[in-house]
Structure 1
Amino acid sequence: MGKIGKGTGSFGKRHNKSHTMCRRCGRRSYHIQKATCGACGYPSARKRNYNWSTKAIGRRTTGTGRMRYLKTLPRRFKNGFREGAREHHIFSSFTGGFAV
């Protein structure tokens, strides 16, 4: 029954939210009174990240999302960024002159 201290009994009295959804990162880390996000640092112009937490940086870096633009770059670079034409195929004697 005890509600003194920080233990189990005092958890029932907690019903106020100090953090809400962040507009930039979408996490529930935006502190309402401080008006800053604990995860991304919003409204700061620079995104919050620290080298003491390498795993956290890796969770939200390039390659964790769809990469709509970047994932096609290697193929387009290989073809000289030509569009609309047929892709350049390699002919070899191994395949008897047929495209690979």
Structure 2
Amino acid sequence: MSKGTPSFGKRRTRNHLLCPRCGDMSYHKQIRRCSSCAFPEAKRRTRRSLKAQRRTGQGTGRMRYLKRVHRKSKSGFKEHPILAELRN
């Protein structure tokens, strides 16, 4: 049997199960350790650098709601008079 593409089709067993602590599918069956939170050891914490925080923090994605809030705050959250009458 070859060790290339055909043998990858035979892989159908699960190595990871649900973690009892964090609930992710990261608990390794044989190693008995969660790759996400390090259960049963002390909780694993990600130490993100400042650069990584800038890449993935707030304001880097779509910001659907926050864009709307910023626009409304410029006018002091005033509402159009016709729309205000319709709501009453």
Tell me the TM-score normalised to structure 2 length.
Answer: 0.47
> Greater relative contact order (Cα 8 A, min sep 6): structure 1 or 2?
2
Tell me the TM-score normalised to structure 1 length.
Answer: 0.42
Of Structure 1 and Structure 2, the greater helix share is in: 2
